[in-house]
Amino acid sequence: MKVVILAGGFGTRLSEETEKTPKPLVEVGENPIIWHIMKHYEHYGLSDIIVALGYKGEAIKKYFMDYLNYRCNMRIDFSKAEVNVQERSVEQWKLELVDTGLNTLTGGRVKRLQPWLGEETFMLTYGDGVSDINLRNLLELHRSQGRIGTVSAVRPPARFGGLVIDENIVVEFTEKPQIGEGWINGGFMVFEPEVFDYLEGDDTILESHCLEKMAEDGQLTAYPHNGFWQCIDTLRDLQLLNSLWNSGSPPWKIWD
């Protein structure tokens, strides 16, 4: 099964980092966020990945070319202009890096990938969020429901800590929990090829034009996920993920 990672946006809300670097290459620990996402999918045997490129897509291409070259032994024969990688990478990824346009919106990027996806079920996510979501269970629910699409439903982290008050006395400060303020789309999705009927041109927004229409038609399933989830929208989000990674036990690291 193929996995699509949307990696073409401008990342304007994280402009401190994305003026020079595309958002999927913003680093958490020693690796970019897209690496963490791909390791997650690989853990569930999903290694056939299509990356939808746009803003600074050439930087993402260069990262993966350099990743293979720098992490493997190689033999270079200058007389024949030959370069041979002499060992297999630990990762089992098979990547297709596809330019889907600089200004194309999310749904348009998916539509442009139709020739690569064919008539098969595929998974899709954004290139800026991590989770400990069980992708096997997500897929099983999708298949059991028989609808065109399934989205992961998560509860967003609270932006602020809370107070526990007893008779006007503050008795406790609480950390920022994963709170029950309603469900949002967590970005880990599964689609049948009929989804392309809901996608038009480059100006199609996946979230509003496509998913909302699918919901109206009764063709969208929700997979509730109560575990860890965090996207990178702001510098504060990035700092949080880095602090969790540096703690030695990041909750989204489910791979060995």
Give the start-to-end residue ranges of the domains of the chain: 2-246
pLDDT exceeding 90 applies to what percent of the chain? 72
Question: What's the pLDDT at 205?
Answer: 96
pLDDT exceeding 70 applies to what percent of the chain? 90
Q: Are 247 and 175 in contact (CB under 8 A)?
A: no
- What distance in Å separates the CA atoms of residue 213 and residue 208, rounded to the nearest whole number? 8
DSSP letter string, 44-81:
TT--EEEEEE-TTHHHHHHHHHHHHHHHS-EEEETTTT
Question: What's the pLDDT at 178?
Answer: 54
Question: What's the pLDDT at 175?
Answer: 58
- The mean pLDDT of the chain is 90
Longest dimension (CA), the chain: 83
Question: What's the pLDDT at 217?
Answer: 94
Question: What's the pLDDT at 173?
Answer: 60
pLDDT at 82 over 80: yes
- Phi then psi dihedrals of residue 47, to 5 deg: -120, 0
Least confident of 12-26, 91-105, 130-144: 12-26
Q: Are 3 and 126 in contact (CB under 8 A)?
A: no
Tokens 């996608």 identify what position?
199
- What distance in Å separates the CA atoms of residue 120 and residue 242, rounded to the nearest whole number? 36
Question: What's the pLDDT at 168?
Answer: 56
- What distance in Å separates the CA atoms of residue 157 and residue 198, rounded to the nearest whole number? 31
- What distance in Å separates the CA atoms of residue 94 and residue 218, rounded to the nearest whole number? 34
pLDDT tens string 228-239:
999 998 999 999
What CATH number is given for 2-246 in this structure? 3.90.550.10
Question: What's the pLDDT at 32?
Answer: 97
Question: What's the pLDDT at 71?
Answer: 80
Q: What's the pLDDT band for 84 if we cut at 50, 70, 90?
A: confident
SS3 197: helix
Tokens 């609808």 identify what position?
147
Q: What's the pLDDT band for 52 if we cut at 50, 70, 90?
A: very high
Highest mean pLDDT among 90-99, 133-142, 224-233: 133-142
pLDDT tens string 158-214:
665 555 656 656 556 665 555 555 788 999 999 999 999 999 999 999 998 999 999
Question: What's the pLDDT at 158?
Answer: 66
Cβ-in-10-Å burial (0-12, 13-18, 19+) of 256 comes to: exposed
Q: What is the mean pLDDT of residues 97-109?
A: 97
Q: Model pTM greater than 0.85? A: yes
Question: What's the pLDDT at 79?
Answer: 94
Residue 182, C-beta contacts closer than 8 angstroms, at least 6 positions apart: 155
Say how far residue 202 (Cα) sits from the centre of its chain: 20
Write down the H helix ranges in 122-217.
135-145, 212-216
- Phi then psi dihedrals of residue 156, to 5 deg: -65, 150
- What distance in Å separates the CA atoms of residue 154 and residue 182, rounded to the nearest whole number? 8
Structure tokens at 133: 């979501």
